[in-house]
């Protein structure tokens, strides 16, 4: 946490974050673009994720046929991810080989080739990914709940996009999306590892400094109206398992309520890991685990609180025991929420939640790749100071604040209740 760190901005708008970590001869570089599924319009859903795929199809300087081999030959790993608010690419390499990653990312920021045949090939890939997801009950349930929770905001649709859109998006649609959002002023470059900050900054300025900045791309500013009452939906489909998902509106990561909500999440369902690439810890001390799993109403229960730019969802997903009903599980959930709303939480429970958060932060920051991840990730919805101050913010949360959060956010009129019922040969929503 106390390693040398600098944040600066190049003349063309590229935000640069660097952190020296000399524990191992490794460097991890992440390039983050402020574009995700929230930036997509009906008819173009899934386009950000598809563009991510196309970015691995090469440039004149780095053809697709040599990319994987080049990274692997140098002993490195790389990958990419598309999310609600962002798209990110990373490479982790031996320290003396990181220049390959920097040259690659500077090149494909402006020179990616969107070949028509490659577009056709990837159309098959992303549609197959979509169809594979549709075979999973929890994907289908989660998508239905998310659509019901948002009517006007881009969070309405899944990151993978609608199948009908994936069938009609064109090569020019993809290329225009790439040119609109992949530019220095819409990007954050985060580098952590075994290097000298001054030398690294000089090399990054050489590679990225002359790239055209361009006009800032548009981002949606239409907020989702407040919920107008409880919504319930039921899906039926193949399988043998009944699932219950209950989703409440949650605060954006940069709102003060997010920190108290984090404590509530830990108490109720077990702590959510905000670092999606870090490890987790057991939720067996949570109230819902004790009530639902140990109480033999459910096989498992998990909560999910995510760090987003705009208010998103806090959902609790319950795998219902075969001999129990989703109605019984929902009633138990409601009773535990009511207990949080009416009874003051013991200080010992708050302290335990803070300890769990510290443990998750330790697990999610223990290697250089994760350190570089946090540099850029926090900038997507706030600043790196958010990460640095996260634990200290949690330690200030009082039982009264947790009770207030439970009352203001976790009420029936602000939720979507979704049930997946196994039905042989089924698949319809009702």
Of 64-78, 119-133, 186-200, 244-258, the least confident: 64-78
Instruction: Tell me, yes or no, whether 251 and 168 share the same domain.
Output: no
Would you say 27 and 41 are in contact if contact means Cβ atoms under 8 Å apart?
A: no
Structural domain contains residue 225: no
Residue 138 has pLDDT above 70, yes or no: yes
Would you say 212 and 183 are in contact if contact means Cβ atoms under 8 Å apart?
A: yes
Structural domain contains residue 373: yes
Instruction: Tell me, yes or no, whether 34 and 121 share the same domain.
Output: yes
pLDDT at 426: 42
Of 197-201, 202-206, 280-284, the least confident: 280-284
Would you say 316 and 246 are in contact if contact means Cβ atoms under 8 Å apart?
A: yes
Structure tokens at 253: 């990561």
Beta strand spans in 95-207 (E): 187-193
Structural domain contains residue 213: no
Question: What is the helix (H) or strand (E) element at residue 393, kind and residue range?
Answer: helix 390-394
Q: In this structure, how many other beta carbons lie within 10 angstroms of the beta carbon of residue 226?
A: 9
pLDDT at 2: 62
3-class SS of residue 64: helix
**Rounded distance, CA 202 to CA 175, Å?**
31
Instruction: Tell me, yes or no, whether 257 and 349 share the same domain.
Output: yes
Question: Hunting for tokens 């309520």 — which residue is that?
Answer: 257
pLDDT band at 66 (very low <50, low <70, confident <90, very high): confident
pTM (2 d.p.): 0.94
Structural domain contains residue 221: no
Instruction: Tell me, yes or no, whether 176 and 314 share the same domain.
Output: no
Question: Hunting for tokens 């990319």 — which residue is that?
Answer: 67
Give the structural domain span for 48: 5-208
Instruction: Tell me, yes or no, whether 243 and 134 share the same domain.
Output: no
3-state per-residue secondary structure call for 233-298: EEEEECCCCEEEEEEEECCCCCCCHHHHHHHHHHHHHCCCCCCCCCCCCCCCCCHHHHHHHCCCCE
Question: Hunting for tokens 């494909």 — which residue is that?
Answer: 108
**Which CATH number characterizes residue 378's domain?**
3.30.830.10
State pLDDT tens for residues 29-41.
999 999 999 999 9
What backbone torsions phi and psi does residue 325 show, to the nearest 5 degrees? -110, 155
pLDDT at 425: 45
Structural domain contains residue 223: no
Instruction: Tell me, yes or no, whether 316 and 364 share the same domain.
Output: yes
Would you say 31 and 38 are in contact if contact means Cβ atoms under 8 Å apart?
A: no
């Amino acid at each position: 946490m106390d390693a040398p760190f600098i944040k600066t901005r190049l003349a063309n708008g590229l935000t640069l974050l660097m952190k020296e970590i000399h524990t191992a001869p490794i460097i991890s570089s992440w390039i983050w673009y402020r574009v995700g599924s929230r930036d997509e319009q009906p008819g173009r859903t899934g386009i950000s994720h598809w563009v991510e795929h196309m970015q691995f199809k090469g440039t004149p300087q780095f053809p697709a046929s040599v990319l994987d081999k080049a990274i692997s030959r140098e002993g490195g790993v790389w990958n990419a991810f598309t999310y609600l608010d962002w798209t990110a690419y990373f490479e982790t390499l031996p320290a003396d080989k990181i220049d390959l990653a920097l040259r690659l990312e500077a090149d494909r920021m402006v020179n990616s080739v969107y070949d028509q045949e490659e577009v056709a090939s990837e159309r098959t890939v992303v549609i197959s990914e979509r169809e594979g997801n549709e075979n999973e009950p929890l994907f289908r349930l989660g998508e239905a709940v998310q659509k019901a929770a948002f009517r006007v905001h881009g969070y309405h649709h899944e990151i993978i996009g609608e199948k009908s859109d994936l069938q009609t998006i064109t090569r020019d649609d993809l290329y225009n999306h790439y040119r609109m959002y992949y530019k220095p002023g819409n990007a954050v470059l985060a580098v952590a590892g075994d290097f000298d900050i001054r030398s690294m900054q000089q090399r990054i300025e050489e590679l990225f400094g002359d790239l055209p900045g361009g006009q800032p791309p548009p981002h949606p500013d239409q907020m989702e109206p407040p919920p107008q009452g409880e919504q319930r939906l039921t899906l039926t489909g193949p399988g043998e398992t009944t699932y219950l998902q209950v989703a409440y509106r949650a605060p954006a990561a940069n709102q003060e309520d997010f920190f108290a909500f984090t404590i509530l999440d830990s108490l109720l369902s077990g702590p959510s890991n905000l670092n999606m690439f870090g490890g987790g810890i057991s939720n067996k001390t949570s109230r819902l685990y004790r009530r639902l799993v140990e109480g033999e109403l459910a096989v498992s229960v998990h909560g999910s609180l995510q760090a987003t730019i705009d208010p998103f969802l806090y959902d609790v997903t319950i795998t219902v025991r075969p001999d129990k009903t989703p109605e019984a599980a929902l009633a138990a959930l409601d009773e535990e929420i009511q207990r949080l709303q009416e009874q003051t939480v013991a200080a010992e429970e708050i302290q335990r939640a803070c300890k769990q958060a510290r443990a998750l932060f330790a697990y999610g920051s223990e290697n250089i790749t994760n350190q570089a991840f946090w540099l850029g990730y926090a900038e997507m919805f706030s600043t790196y100071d958010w990460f640095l101050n996260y634990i200290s913010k949690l330690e200030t949360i009082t039982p009264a604040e947790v009770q207030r959060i439970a009352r203001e956010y976790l009420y029936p009129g602000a939720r979507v209740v979704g049930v997946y019922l196994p039905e042989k040969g089924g698949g319809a929503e009702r």
